[in-house]
Structure 1
Amino acid sequence: MSGGPQLKDAAPQPVLAIEGAALHRDGSELWSRLDLELQPGEFVAVLGPSGSGKTTLLRSILGLQPLSAGSIRVAGTPVQRGDARIGYIPQQRPLPPETSLRARDLVALGVNGTRFGLPIPRRGDRARVDALLEGVGASHYGDRPVGLLSGGEQQRLRVGQALADRPALLLCDEPLSNLDLANQRGVTDIIDRERRENGTAVLFVTHDINPILDRVDRILYIAGGRFLLGTPEEVLQTHVLSRLYGTPVFVFRAGGRLVVVGVPDAETHHEHDGEEPITTSTITPGGHA
């Protein structure tokens, strides 16, 4: 046995590494000096009022929005547009009833839709689509037109499409909006299973922490150009949010849900980043959703 120095196991490489990130828009600073690392299988929620830069952060990770300063790396390499290591789930928005695309065809776009030119089916593509449909609980309506499906059914297909390339990082932009509680639970279960079974890191933008509170490892809370990062127990406290907003904010538990009261009105401008505008408040403020 060698008497030389013993090597320690190297720390796992983060799936996502954001260092010193800053972003300015329309002459104002959304956030700066943002450092964030996500490890394999970690679930991080992103909260904050409208206009705080949540969707813009996702766009920067997708390579669609350049930073004003800092860097973003995915699995050790600089982020780039169209990175197959990143899956993206948008907000739920109903597709027109006349949409004739079948459910399986929508999921198949995630399997073969990133190729140059017209998608050409490969051996194994159908089996992969079938497996994705089964994984999101959509096998029984795989051949139905998506325009005739409910919002929850359509959103399950978007999740399947996002998981097609077995991403290392899954970005979720308010994927539970406009869904009833049953479908919120169903979509959350699929995302949670993916990160537990396959080690997918999840960055989950939401205006309501309650449906995912028991799954979240950490929270990134952005407000007024500042941010907090910590566990739910560390961040979701009256004195912590009051300090972040610079005004009294109260956190209560009611009926097993967190309620935040006293959050200042959102900025007059809302996030509008291309195809995914956001109009949100934070967590579940008293008086409105």
Structure 2
Amino acid sequence: MADRMTPMQPCIVCHDIAISRGGRTIWSEGTFTIPRGSATAIVGTNGAGKTTLMKAELGLIPLSHGTMTVLGKPAGEMNAHIGYVPQSYASDIDSSLTAEQSVLLGLTGTRFGFHIISKKERDKAREAMEFVGVLDKAPYRLSQLSGGLRQRVAIAQALVSDPELLMLDEPLANLDLASQRSTVHILAKLNRELGMTIQVVAHDLNMLLPILTGAVYLLDGHPHFAKLNEVLDSKLLTHLYGTQVQVVTTPQGDMFVTPNADNIGCNDHPDMHSSSDVAQFHHHEDVRMDDDHAHIDRKGNGQ
């Protein structure tokens, strides 16, 4: 993959943005700047408009008010420099395709009709697959792969064109713990080793905490951006999720977000990992990448 180390310049700049659909305002009064090289989550309750914000950044949904630039241009104009992994990838993609054919769509998907795959295109696809650890699955049909492996194929497809910004909509949804860990480690490599800007729509912050630098949170009908240490506030998260939440720091310095102990056994069911799950993720031990596992050293770098 190409090295994309860049200064902390603006990646996304929003000024007083708002979106309305069907005569209803989804959210409004959004003014914030997300720097390049950051790893940012978009968080909020169901229906708050998280995916809507990401689609607006891609120029797929028009703003009803305000201005937005992405990679220095109006939203939608720099999409060739953006990798996007939709939440619906697993259901939308033709499961009869091989993993390699799927990744190649990241280079050829906008063309119509039959065309010959060049050696350069095939080499780029294989490079992306090797980076995410699925090169050995190249000839397998997607229907033969687990959900975790399909997710890594989806990321490879988004990476094949060397994007400056990688957007992922709920990339950890419906994955088991090992597959979630593998996905997060891939994102960590992209962000820390290549300087790629990462943006993730997420319900659960816990698994992403080790890589996040900030978050856009959709609260009371308005999008806000803040650095991660400002977002990890019990009062803010309680207001955001509508249930009592506490931010816990372990003796090792790891942090996780958990329902307040006073609420255990009540009818609240926040979409969050348990502290034991998060502890497994933060535990700095090597894991081998086979099927849904990534081999990671103590610094979080892929082997």
Whole-angstrom CA distance in 2 between matches of 1:193 and 1:59: 25
Given residue 257 of structure 2, which amino acid in structure 1 is its aligned partner?
A: L
Q: Which runs of 5+ in 2 are unaligned?
A: 1-6, 276-303
Whole-angstrom CA distance in 1 between matches of 2:94 and 2:52: 32
Question: What secondary structure sits across from 1:124 in the alignment?
Answer: helix
Task: Please report how far the alpha carbon of residue 203 of structure 1 lies from its aligned counterpart in structure 2 after TM superposition.
Answer: 1.2
Q: Does 1:42 align with 2:41?
A: no
Task: Please report how far the alpha carbon of residue 48 of structure 1 lies from its aligned counterpart in structure 2 after TM superposition.
Answer: 0.5
Residues 33 and 225, structure 2, Cα contact 8 Å, conserved in 1: no
Name 1:250's counterpart in structure 2: 245
Name 2:120's counterpart in structure 1: 124
Moved more, 143-152 or 69-78: 69-78
Task: Please report how far the alpha carbon of residue 119 of structure 1 lies from its aligned counterpart in structure 2 after TM superposition.
Answer: 4.2
Q: Does 1:199 align with 2:195?
A: yes
Moved more, 173-182 or 85-94: 85-94
Partner of residue 114 from structure 1, selected from 103, 110, 114: 110
Whole-angstrom CA distance in 2 between matches of 1:12 and 1:233: 18
Q: Which runs of 5+ in 1 are unaligned?
A: 1-10, 267-279
Moved more, 25-34 or 187-196: 25-34
User: When you count helix as a share of all residues, which structure comes out higher?
Assistant: 2
Q: Does 1:216 align with 2:212?
A: yes
Given residue 57 of structure 1, which amino acid in structure 2 is its aligned partner?
A: L
Residues 96 and 44 of structure 1: CA distance in aligned 2, closer, same or farther (over 3 Å): closer
Residues 99 and 138, structure 2, Cα contact 8 Å, conserved in 1: yes
Say what the alpha-carbon RMSD is for the aligned residues.
Answer: 3.0
Whole-angstrom CA distance in 1 between matches of 2:139 and 2:210: 34
Given residue 114 of structure 1, which amino acid in structure 2 is its aligned partner?
A: T
Q: Does 1:19 align with 2:15?
A: yes
Whole-angstrom CA distance in 2 between matches of 1:22 and 1:138: 40
Question: What secondary structure sits across from 2:167 in the alignment?
Answer: strand
The alignment-based identity, stated in percent, is: 34
Question: What secondary structure sits across from 2:36 in the alignment?
Answer: coil
Residues 243 and 159 of structure 1: CA distance in aligned 2, closer, same or farther (over 3 Å): closer
Q: Does 1:63 align with 2:59?
A: yes
Q: Under a length normalisation based on structure 2, what TM-score does the superposition of the two structures give?
A: 0.76
Q: Under a length normalisation based on structure 1, what TM-score does the superposition of the two structures give?
A: 0.79
Task: Please report how far the alpha carbon of residue 95 of structure 1 lies from its aligned counterpart in structure 2 after TM superposition.
Answer: 5.0
Given residue 31 of structure 1, which amino acid in structure 2 is its aligned partner?
A: W
Q: Does 1:52 align with 2:51?
A: no
